């Protein structure tokens, strides 16, 4: 079941990118929030190498249990007081969107003598329920991050608003792709535009068509999440 879903997504990636999944350069992150370690192991058997979680405590429990044979992604809103629990342990923090968080990551990484890779989350649609820096404030945030030696920006992330017809989200993804290409032409020190993390179960196809090379898919792989 989980394996079938993962195979489906790989096929879609392959179709849209016109290459075998392995050569497509697309990272498929299986979002395992609210799912069990057994579910994750099943996904690993189907070839999943990267998982995403949106809560620090749940992420840490799963990292402790599963260990080093997976890449972990922090994709949710990150409170500054939780930064210390994940720096150096996750492959990417996708949700860097404010100076206070940058300062905290820098402080913790400096103390440990490590460099943390991050994505900057951009709120393209300005929905107030979504986090992320506004487009007009992005440059100032990047200038600030550029002064930090223990953080490396590897790309951008966004969440599109929910549209009944996912095609309607295309403008959001196209806009972030344009910004991504724009920043590529600037010569920042510790800022590279390599990963474009956009697209979830409902809209990942549209995201891929608009340039995503990292998608975060949860419920399509693992089934709907049940919250108590
Ligand atoms: C939950 C979540 C996802 C995955 O959502 P699905 O609709 O279950 O695919 C992707 N990105 C973020 C930031 C999330 O919190």
Residue 199 burial (C-beta neighbours within 10 Å; 0-12, 13-18, 19+): buried
Report the separation in Å between the CA atom of 53 and the middle of ligand 1, taken as the mean of its atom positions. Answer: 9
The CA distance from 120 to 154, in Å, is 8
Q: Ligand 1, from 55, 90, 97, 218: best to mutate by most atoms within 8 Å of Cβ?
A: 218
Q: Residues with Cβ within 6 A of ligand 1?
A: 31, 33, 54, 75-76, 159, 200-202, 216-220
Mean pLDDT for 116-121 is: 98
Work out the percent of the chain whose per-residue pLDDT is above 90: 96
Counting from 1 in the atom list of ligand 1, the atom nearest the Cα of 219 is 8
- pLDDT tens-digit map of 58-73: 999 999 999 999 999 9
- pLDDT tens-digit map of 145-204: 999 999 999 999 999 999 999 999 999 999 999 999 999 999 899 999 999 999 999 999
The CA distance from 158 to 176, in Å, is 8
**Nearest protein Cα to ligand 1, atom 12:** 75
pLDDT of residue 138: 98
- pLDDT tops 90 at residue 57: yes
pLDDT of residue 140: 98
Mean pLDDT for 97-118 is: 98
Report the separation in Å between the CA atom of 102 and the middle of ligand 1, taken as the mean of its atom positions. Answer: 23
What the block records as the tokens of 150 is 């223990």
Beta bridge partners of 116: 151
- pLDDT tops 90 at residue 228: no
Mean pLDDT for 46-64 is: 98
Report the separation in Å between the CA atom of 216 and the middle of ligand 1, taken as the mean of its atom positions. Answer: 6
- pLDDT tops 90 at residue 227: no
**Nearest protein Cα to ligand 1, atom 11:** 216
The CA distance from 15 to 131, in Å, is 31
Q: Is the dihedral of CA 82, 83, 87, 93 positive or negative?
A: positive
pLDDT of residue 226: 82
pLDDT of residue 6: 98
pLDDT of residue 45: 98
Work out the percent of the chain whose per-residue pLDDT is above 70: 100
**Nearest protein Cα to ligand 1, atom 7:** 201
- 66-85 as b/e, with b when 16 or more CB fall inside 10 Å? beeebebbbbbbbeeebbbe
Report the separation in Å between the CA atom of 200 and the middle of ligand 1, taken as the mean of its atom positions. Answer: 6
Write a three-state SS string for the chain.
CHHHHHHHHHHHHHHHHCCCHHHCCCEEEEECCCCCHHHHHHHHHCCCCEEEECCHHHHHHHHHHHCCCCEEEECCCCCHHHHHHHCCCCCEEEEECCHHHHHHHHHHHHHHCCCEEEEEEECCCCCCCCCCECHHHHHHHHHHHHCCCCEEEEEEECCCCCCCCHHHHHHHHHHHHHHHHHHHCCCCCCEEEEEEECCCCCCHHHHHHCCCCEEEECHHHHCCCCCC
Residue 13 confidence class, pLDDT cut points 50, 70, 90? very high
Average pLDDT, the chain: 97
Q: How far apart are the first and last CA of the chain?
A: 24
Listed residue (225, 172, 190) closest to 115, CA to CA: 190
* Whether 109 contacts 87, CB under 8 Å: yes
- pLDDT tops 90 at residue 50: yes
Residue 129 confidence class, pLDDT cut points 50, 70, 90? confident
Listed residue (158, 219, 207) closest to 13, CA to CA: 207
């Amino acid at each position: 079941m989980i394996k079938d879903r993962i195979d489906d997504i790989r096929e879609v990636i392959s179709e849209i990118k016109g290459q075998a999944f392995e050569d497509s350069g697309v990272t498929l992150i299986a979002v395992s929030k609210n799912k069990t370690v057994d579910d994750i192991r099943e996904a690993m058997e189907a070839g999943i190498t990267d998982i995403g979680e949106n809560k620090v405590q749940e992420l840490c429990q799963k990292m402790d249990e599963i260990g080093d044979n997976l890449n972990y992604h922090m994709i949710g809103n990150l409170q500054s007081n939780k930064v210390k629990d994940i720096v150096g342990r996750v492959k990417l923090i996708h949700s860097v969107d404010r100076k206070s968080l940058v300062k905290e990551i820098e402080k913790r990484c400096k103390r440990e003598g490590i460099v943390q890779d991050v994505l900057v989350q951009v709120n393209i649609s300005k929905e107030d329920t979504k986090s992320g820096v506004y487009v007009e404030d992005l440059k100032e945030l990047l200038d600030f991050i550029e002064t930090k030696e223990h953080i490396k920006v590897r790309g951008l992330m966004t969440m599109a608003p929910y549209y009944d017809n996912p095609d309607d989200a295309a403008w959001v993804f196209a806009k972030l792709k344009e910004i991504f290409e724009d920043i590529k032409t600037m010569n920042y020190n510790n800022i590279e535009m390599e990963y474009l993390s956009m697209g979830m179960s409902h809209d990942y196809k549209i995201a891929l068509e608009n340039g995503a090379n990292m998608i975060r898919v949860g419920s399509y792989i693992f089934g709907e999440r049940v919250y108590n």
